[in-house]
Amino acid sequence: MTNISFPEPTITAVSKPFWDKVAEKQFYLQQCDDCAQWVFYPRAHCPHCFGSHLTWKEASGQGKLKSWSMVHRTGHPAWQERTPYAVGIVELAEGPSLLTHLLINEQELHYQLPVEISFQSLNERLLPFFQKKGD
Amino acid sequence: MAKRPKGAIIGIGELKPVRYSEGKTTLGLIAESVQLALTDAGITKDEIDGLLVGPQVGETPQHVPATVSEYLGLSPIMSNTVDLGGATGAGMVWRAAAAIEAGMCETVVCVLANKNEKGQAPRSPNRNPIREFDVPFGASGANTSYALLKREHMEVYGSKQEDFASIAYWARKNALKNPKAIFYDKPVELEDILQSPMISDPLRLLEIVMPCAGGAAVIVTSEEKAKQAKHKPVYLKGAGEKITHRAVSQAPATDQLPFAYSIPQALQQAEIDGKDLDLLSLYDCYTNVVAVQLESMGICKPGKFGDFVRSHTFGPDGDYPLNTHGGQLGFGQADLAGGMSHVIEAVVQLRGEGKRRQIPGARHALVTGNGATLSETTALVLGGEQ
């Protein structure tokens, strides 16, 4: 089992700017030029107004914890050796939600906990994980 | 009468779920399921002119209707693949009725089946946003997605582990009256469920369906043709459907999940109140999915699921008979065919063929399906009278 690697993001032409910025420890999201809504995950069109003018802008990397799970049995064998670990859904300050890995102790996890981005290296690739705000 | 697609189920066929199906193919299980449904309906395959199938991942990724038609020796004049995850079975029933009403065909077989071989956990070839934005963070598979949805319900509404465990408890208790259920002879107590291994907190093992092999088929025809059927026909009285998202991170708020539309829509078409249903045949891949549905159908206010389960009983003789076949939690989940088990149990009950688990005088059933992450939802009201 040791040579099973962590599943890497399957980057597309549309999402590449997101991952390129993450590789530089920067967190960029798309914002719609027409309706001003922020968009995640990256798209070619705005799902709110269906406008096609989305601009990459630096986002705050701040949010609140909407839900979380301590994973004991994983759906992917590479992650099993890391169990138990926490994943969660973060509602970003800009509006959209994303799923992420949480660097937070189980005892400290609670609903609406303020969290912030923390870039972590896995498989020599940086990923946008989240931690408790101020940690 | 509210507008609704009209049709009737005249035949059902269901394989007993088994944990593993060595030596079987999905196409072979499809054929077995269709044979059973034809025998039950008392018709030959020459009378079938419509075919609805599911996506058979891995075996027949494309051209599924043509592959299945050829395998079965059918030449349908209406066919399609329905791809709504666990809502596929229920979704097929109203689509069949709609196609019949549109005059495209008269008698449709809807079939789903799945093989399950030991040590062959397929790795998804997906290249969708979930694979790109969830999986690399350690969130693979449905267990974690539903755990996140359950946690949110607990946090927003204060629902407790005991409340969810009681859904699994009733499923397993009801399964003890169904010899086809995978847990027919395996009773559990509430405490066993609460103490079962934690899989993805707050979801424990016994709150999660057992993956199985199996298959199921139903035959839908026109209300006119159903009058000559061998068995008492079961009529489609109402249908509702809604899809909102795919990835759990994109799910709407707990009280705005798509069942909040699809269930009321089906009840409204059928002109029936949730309290007047005789059977709740509610899709139950995980315990928390049932909570969301009970809160979407007007018999239990949003957030009051815990109070509701503590003050009612859910067996065939209870005040709210729920998943009398054992639900998928007790019956087993043969992939997409698991969703069809809720349709088939409703037909069994409305025909009065439930034997030890028969609900006395059952006339109306709510059947639901749910796919992806509480994202693809279908609801049907089935009735024993036209």
Taking chain B (386 residues) in consecutive chunks of 10 residues, what is each chunk's mean pLDDT? Answer: 86 96 90 97 97 83 91 96 97 98 98 87 70 93 96 96 97 98 97 98 98 97 96 98 96 95 97 97 98 94 91 97 98 96 98 98 98 97 95
Instruction: Find out whether B22 and B50 touch, Cβ atoms under 8 Å.
Output: no
* Chain A CB within 8 Å of residue B247 CB: yes
Question: How far A117 CA lies from chain B's nearest CA (Å)?
Answer: 13
| Domain range annotation of chain B | 8-117+209-383
φ, ψ (nearest 5 deg) of residue B133: -115, -5
Instruction: Find out whether B214 and B337 touch, Cβ atoms under 8 Å.
Output: yes
pLDDT of residue A123: 86
pLDDT of residue B101: 96
Partners of residue B135 in chain A, C-beta under 8 Å = 7, 76
Partners of residue B132 in chain A, C-beta under 8 Å = 9-12, 15, 41
Task: Classify the complex by whether its ipTM is higher than 0.90, answering yes or no.
Answer: yes
Contact between A74 and B149 using a beta-carbon 8 Å cutoff: no
* Chain A CB within 8 Å of residue B206 CB: no
Instruction: Find out whether B289 and B374 touch, Cβ atoms under 8 Å.
Output: yes
Start-to-end CA distance of chain B, whole Å, equals 12
Contact between A70 and B135 using a beta-carbon 8 Å cutoff: no
**Alpha-carbon distances of A58 from A26, B134, B223, rounded to whole Å:** 7, 21, 60
Partners of residue B198 in chain A, C-beta under 8 Å = 70, 72
pLDDT of residue B79: 97
* Chain B CB within 8 Å of residue A4 CB: no
**Alpha-carbon distances of A86 from A2, A43, A119, B337, rounded to whole Å:** 22, 27, 16, 32
Question: How far B204 CA lies from chain A's nearest CA (Å)?
Answer: 10
* Chain B CB within 8 Å of residue A23 CB: no
In this structure, the number of other CB atoms found within 10 A of the CB of residue B153 comes to 26
Q: What is the mean pLDDT of chain A?
A: 95
Instruction: Find out whether B325 and B345 touch, Cβ atoms under 8 Å.
Output: yes
Kindly report, residue by residue over A79-118, the tens digit of the pLDDT. 999 999 999 999 999 999 999 999 999 999 999 999 999 9
Question: How far B30 CA lies from chain A's nearest CA (Å)?
Answer: 28
In this structure, the number of other CB atoms found within 10 A of the CB of residue B151 comes to 25
For B295: left if phi > 0, alpha if psi spans -120 to 50, otherwise beta; the answer is alpha
* Chain B CB within 8 Å of residue A16 CB: no
Q: Is the pTM of this model over 0.90?
A: yes
- DSSP assigned state of B16: P
Kindly report, residue by residue over B120-161, the tens digit of the pLDDT. 665 556 778 889 999 999 998 999 999 999 999 999 999 999
Nearest CA in chain A to B200: A71
Which CATH code of 3.90.1170.50, 3.40.47.10, 2.60.120.10, 3.40.640.10 fits the domain covering B8-117+209-383?
3.40.47.10
Q: Which of A89, A110, A120, A129 to mutate to test the interface with B (most CBs of B within 10 A)?
A: A89
Instruction: Find out whether B284 and B209 touch, Cβ atoms under 8 Å.
Output: yes
Q: What is the CA radius of gyration of chain A?
A: 16
Residue A84: asked if its preceding bond is cis (omega within 30°), the reply is yes
Q: Exposure string (b/e) for B267-304, b if CB count within 10 Å is 16 or more?
A: bebbebebeebbbbbbbbbbbbbbbbbbbbbebbebbe
pLDDT of residue A2: 46
| β-bridge partners, B234 | B9
* Chain A CB within 8 Å of residue B137 CB: yes
Partner-chain residue, chosen from A7, A15, A66, that has the shortest CB–CB distance to B135: A7
Instruction: Find out whether B201 and A69 touch, Cβ atoms under 8 Å.
Output: yes
Partner-chain residue, chosen from A67, A73, A74, that has the shortest CB–CB distance to B148: A67
- DSSP assigned state of B379: E
Residue A5's Cβ-count burial label (10 Å; 0-12, 13-18, 19+) is: exposed
Question: How far B147 CA lies from chain A's nearest CA (Å)?
Answer: 6
The answer to whether domain A60-135 has CATH 1.10.8 is no
| β-bridge partners, B243 | B376
Distance CA B103, CA B222 (A): 10
pLDDT of residue B43: 97
pLDDT of residue B58: 63
Contact between A15 and B138 using a beta-carbon 8 Å cutoff: no
Contact between B199 and A72 using a beta-carbon 8 Å cutoff: yes
Question: How far A108 CA lies from chain B's nearest CA (Å)?
Answer: 14
Is the pLDDT reported for residue A3 higher than 60? Answer: no
In 3-state terms chain A splits into helix, strand, coil percentages (rounded to 5) of: 10, 40, 50
Contact between B140 and A10 using a beta-carbon 8 Å cutoff: no
φ, ψ (nearest 5 deg) of residue B35: -55, -45
For B23: left if phi > 0, alpha if psi spans -120 to 50, otherwise beta; the answer is left
Residue A130's Cβ-count burial label (10 Å; 0-12, 13-18, 19+) is: buried
| Domain range annotation of chain A | 10-59, 60-135
Is the pLDDT reported for residue A127 higher than 90? Answer: yes
Q: What is the mean pLDDT of chain B?
A: 95
Distance CA B306, CA B38 (A): 42
pLDDT of residue B224: 96
Instruction: Find out whether B239 and B269 touch, Cβ atoms under 8 Å.
Output: yes
Tell me which residue of B8, B3, B1, B5 sits closest to B385, measured CA to CA.
B8
Instruction: Find out whether B129 and B247 touch, Cβ atoms under 8 Å.
Output: yes
pLDDT of residue A1: 39
Residue B127's Cβ-count burial label (10 Å; 0-12, 13-18, 19+) is: exposed
**Long-range interactions of A6-9: CB distance < 8 A, separation 24+:** A6/A76, A6/A78, A6/A79, A6/A122, A6/A123, A6/B136, A7/A76, A7/A78, A7/B131, A7/B135, A7/B136, A7/B140, A8/A123, A8/A125, A8/B136, A9/A125, A9/A127, A9/B132, A9/B133, A9/B136
Q: For B222-286, where are the alpha helices, taking DSSP H only? A: 223-226, 259-270
Start-to-end CA distance of chain A, whole Å, equals 34
Partners of residue B138 in chain A, C-beta under 8 Å = 71, 74, 76, 79, 82, 85, 87, 101
* Chain A CB within 8 Å of residue B207 CB: no
* Chain B CB within 8 Å of residue A69 CB: yes
Q: Exposure string (b/e) for B347-377, b if CB count within 10 Å is 16 or more?
A: bbbbbeebeebbbeebbbbbbbbbbbbbbbb
- Strands B279-281 and B364-371, by their bridges, are parallel
Partners of residue B373 in chain A, C-beta under 8 Å = none
Residue A17: asked if its preceding bond is cis (omega within 30°), the reply is no
